[in-house]
Amino acid sequence: MIEKIKETVKKLFKENKIDIFIGYSEGTLPLRSTPCFITRSEDIEKLVWNSYCSNNLAVYLPRFFVSQRGAKDAKLPRIGILAKGCDGRSIVGLIKEHQIPRENIYIIGIHCGGMINTKKIKKVDIVAAEEKNDKVLVEDEDKKKVELKKEELLADMCKTCQYTAPAVYDILLGKEKQKTKKEDREAFIKEFEKKPLEERWEYFQEQISKCIRCNACRQACPNCYCKECFAEQAKPRWIGPTNDISDVMFYQIGRIFHQAGRCVDCGACVRACPMGVDLRVFTYKLIKDVKEFFEYEAGVSLEEAPPLATFKQDDKQEFITEP
């Protein structure tokens, strides 16, 4: 697979179709790949493709264009990007929200078999790792090798992922992956909804009290491209600079709510969080509601209008208070 990717990227550079390519290269730690920006064909050899390419690369795209916006002689780079299903959906979102021009992005779509959540590996002293088919071999300091099943290490979002390849691409590599089992993707949300009100509040409070407002979740999210986030706005100042939990709650409700109809469940926010805040149980609620109320799924079509930028005459309104 990686050879195919390299070949494609080589060709793109040779035919002068792109100025920069965003993919993954080997990370500094085992079980990690790191985003990599290639501008010369000599560097193509650095590229890797494995089960640790978790980062959502779409997050890097808007910043290539933001400085050129409104410029008279705007110089727009042509960017090639490797896109798993979720990256691809984020790219679609960014195109729809006019953050990146479609014609400047060359999307190399790839059928993704799911990424590993390294936190699921209980061993701490891993010095090397190797991937073989559906197994991961990890080696610890004493050179002891342990074989782990990839399936058991998959990230939660990958386990129930429905769009393993992007819907919009210029070229699609790899073989179609087996769709995840019919397992109910929303089961964990339904379960949470069933809990009594106070229990839900307890959980929300417990999670938010872990948050140190480092903003890593926001920085990792491809949809959070705002030049000035509400969190830093001073006029009006939405959030006080205190560590009172209500300020932290305001931040999280705001950030999560801003993802309504845009979140693709890529898990970048969850991975970025240093405090282990369970963000997904909240972000996914909005995915579920948007689908249920407005029959909309983020990032699967370029044509459909974003759900909060449009309406239907007969939209749900049972929640309206009647006398």
Partner 1 sequence: MKNDNNWEPKIVTFLCNWCSYAGADLAGVSRLQYPPNIRVIRVPCSGRVNPFYIIKVLQNGIDGVLVSGCHPGDCHYISGNLVARRKFALLKSFLEYIGIEPGRVQFSWVSAAEGGRFVDIIEKVTSEIKKLGPSKKLSKWQKEAEYIKEILK
Q: How far is the CB of 54 from ligand SF4 (least distance, A)?
A: 11
Is 245 a binding residue for partner 1 by CB under 8 A? The answer is yes
Q: Which of 102, 185, 285, 291 binds partner 1 (CB under 8 A)?
A: 285
70-99-284 Cα angle (round to 5): 155
Nearer of residues 107 and 211 to ligand SF4, judged by Cβ: 211
74-76-77 Cα angle (round to 5): 155
Nearer of residues 136 and 272 to ligand SF4, judged by Cβ: 272
Partner that binds at residue 323, options partner 1, ligand SF4, none, CB closer than 5 to 8 Å by kind? partner 1
SS3 content of the chain, % helix, strand, coil (to 5): 35, 15, 50
Q: 227-236: long-range contacts at Cβ-Cβ below 8 A with a sequence spacing of 24 or more?
A: 227/66, 230/254, 230/258, 231/255
Partner that binds at residue 60, options ligand SF4, partner 1, none, CB closer than 5 to 8 Å by kind? none
Q: Which of 16, 181, 183, 319 binds partner 1 (CB under 8 A)?
A: 319
Is 57 a binding residue for partner 1 by CB under 8 A? The answer is no
Residue 47 β-bridge partners: 25
Nearer of residues 66 and 245 to partner 1, judged by Cβ: 245
Q: How far is the CB of 322 from partner 1 (least distance, A)?
A: 8
Partner that binds at residue 243, options ligand SF4, partner 1, none, CB closer than 5 to 8 Å by kind? none
Nearer of residues 144 and 316 to partner 1, judged by Cβ: 316
Is 188 a binding residue for partner 1 by CB under 8 A? The answer is no
Contacts of 2 (CB under 8 A, 6+ apart): 47, 48, 49
Q: Which of 202, 214, 243, 301 binds partner 1 (CB under 8 A)?
A: 202
- Alpha helices by DSSP H, listed for 38-79, are 62-66
Q: Which of 7, 184, 244, 295 binds partner 1 (CB under 8 A)?
A: 244
DSSP 8-state assignment for residue 39: -
Nearer of residues 153 and 231 to partner 1, judged by Cβ: 231
Q: Which of 204, 215, 216, 278 binds partner 1 (CB under 8 A)?
A: 204
Q: How far is the CB of 219 from partner 1 (least distance, A)?
A: 21
Q: How far is CA 15 from CA 12, 18, 259, in A?
A: 5, 8, 38
Q: How far is the CB of 59 from ligand SF4 (least distance, A)?
A: 8
Residues that bind ligand SF4 (CB under 6 A): 211-218, 220-221, 223-224, 226, 229-231, 254-255, 258-259, 263-269, 272-275, 277, 279, 283
Query: H or E segment at 294?
Result: helix 280-294
The dihedrals phi and psi of 294, each to the nearest 5 degrees, come to -120, 5
Q: Which of 250, 278, 291, 304 binds partner 1 (CB under 8 A)?
A: 250
Look at residues 257, 282, 103, 83 and name the one whose alpha carbon lies nearest to residue 201. Answer: 282
Look at residues 25, 195, 52 and name the one whose alpha carbon lies nearest to residue 114. Answer: 52
Contacts of 31 (CB under 8 A, 6+ apart): 52, 116, 118, 121, 126, 129, 136, 138
Is 229 a binding residue for partner 1 by CB under 8 A? The answer is no
Q: How far apart are CA 242 and CA 239, in angstroms?
A: 8
CB atoms within 10 A of CB 206: 11
Interaction site with partner 1 (CB under 8 A): 192-193, 197-205, 230, 238, 240, 242, 244-247, 249-250, 253-254, 256-257, 260, 282, 285-286, 289-290, 293-294, 307-313, 315-317, 319-323
